[in-house]
Amino acid sequence: MSHRIILDVDTGTDDAIALMVAALSPDIELVGATTVNGNVHVPVCTENTLRVFDHIGVKDSIPVYEGMAIPMVRPNFVRESPSLIHGEYFDLPPAQTAKQQQHAVDWLIETYMQSDGDITLVPVGPLTNIGMAIQKEPRILPKIPELVIMGGGHEVGNMSPSAEFNIWVDPEAAKLVLNCGRPIRLVPLDATHRALVSTEDVEQLRALGTPAGDIAAMFISTRISGYDMTQPMSRLGAAPVHDALCVCAIIDPTIITTKFINVDVETKGELTDGRTVCDVYHRSKSEPNMHVAFDADAPKFVRMLLEILGRRR
């Protein structure tokens, strides 16, 4: 069965791999991509997304809509200097294809309102576009069958000791989206850090000899150097590819192991702003509201990347 999805991205090296997995997998129909401020400024996210689609030959079939440039409530989070893990503009030729003219938030609303309720929403960046769409047109909610979200962390933070980047950038949007009442699968750092991709895996991706394999190897090499330098994982020479794990979980849900628990977002914490508060021991009176991944099958993840990124369009 093919899953219809919309991918909301802040492209970003791991977003790029998520986009390629979604565009090339025979099990996914990628209806469109929306971009949001996060890893890089939103126009750069859009250009990077278009460059990736051009490179793998899907440029005419998957529309790209640009979205929010700043968070919903807070005055600003805009990354000022390129990170070692994402850089800024991808080292690929300038995009030949243009973005769509409509704003991503309006396109999301229009697309969901006209849909049969069969498009899974997959945000793998800050939740600003999704929060704005829900706030502007709450009637889209019953049309969203499920959200599969990369974000948050229980035992791990990467932006602060408490918080993960996507949630930390726009905590108010995240709070609104995580409490929206629709079915949610959350893929936090606890799972993505269990699915590391190594230098040896990069060599296998490169050896595929496909456009997607080539640039996945380039992006993951950059990620491994960046992680080794700034946030070493359980072993050197390996890095998480968060957003791609999230997309792979749609194709094969057994790639992650989840618990059904209540999660909320801290928006007022002095030390814990943007933390996903995961009620793993059912200490609150709140009902479970999402399936949260705490583990992932790393060998299966690498096998899926090799199989899907070995494909051509």
Residues 26-55 touching ligand BDR, rule: CB under 6 A, are 39
Determine contact, residues 94/51, Cβ cutoff 8 Å. Answer: yes
To ligand BDR, the closest distance from the beta carbon of 200 in angstroms equals 23
Is residue 242 near ligand BDR by the rule CB under 6 A?
A: yes
CA 62 – CA 43 distance, rounded (Å): 18
Residues 234-253 touching Ca ion, rule: CB under 5 A, are 243
Q: Of the residues 8, 10, 170, 190, which is catalytic? A: 10
Is residue 126 near Ca ion by the rule CB under 5 A?
A: no
CA 24 – CA 311 distance, rounded (Å): 7
Is residue 87 near ligand BDR by the rule CB under 6 A?
A: no
- Joined together, the tokens standing for residue 273 give 């702003």
- Asked if residue 12 has a cis previous peptide bond (ω within 30° of 0), the answer is yes
In angstroms, what CA-CA distances link 201 with 14, 54, 129? Answer: 15, 24, 33
The reply to whether 10 belongs to the active site is: yes
Distance of CA 184 to the CA centre of its chain: 14
Is residue 243 near ligand BDR by the rule CB under 6 A?
A: yes
CA 98 – CA 55 distance, rounded (Å): 14
Q: If we measure between CA atoms, which residue out of 234, 232, 249, 235 comes closest to residue 293?
A: 249
- Joined together, the tokens standing for residue 177 give 């989206």
Is residue 12 near ligand BDR by the rule CB under 6 A?
A: yes
Determine contact, residues 74/37, Cβ cutoff 8 Å. Answer: no
Which residue's CB is nearer to ligand BDR, number 134 or number 247? 247
164 binds, among ligand BDR, Ca ion, none (CB under 5 to 8 A by kind): ligand BDR
Q: At which residue do the structure tokens 């529309």 appear?
A: 63
For ligand BDR, the binding residue among 7, 8, 14, 48 (CB under 6 A) is 14
Is residue 273 near ligand BDR by the rule CB under 6 A?
A: no
Is residue 15 near ligand BDR by the rule CB under 6 A?
A: yes
CA 278 – CA 103 distance, rounded (Å): 33
Is residue 125 near Ca ion by the rule CB under 5 A?
A: yes
Distance of CA 188 to the CA centre of its chain: 10
Which residue's CB is nearer to ligand BDR, number 24 or number 45? 45
Which residue's CB is nearer to ligand BDR, number 68 or number 109? 68
Is residue 66 near ligand BDR by the rule CB under 6 A?
A: no
To Ca ion, the closest distance from the beta carbon of 224 in angstroms equals 17
Is residue 289 near ligand BDR by the rule CB under 6 A?
A: no
Q: If we measure between CA atoms, which residue out of 73, 70, 69, 68 comes closest to residue 133?
A: 68
Query: Given the rule CB under 5 A, which of 6-14, 66-74, 129-137, 289-297 is the region that contacts Ca ion?
Result: 6-14
Per CB under 5 A, residues contacting Ca ion are: 10, 12, 15, 124-125, 243
Q: Which residues are catalytic?
A: 10
Per CB under 6 A, residues contacting ligand BDR are: 12, 14-15, 39, 124-125, 150, 158, 164-166, 242-243
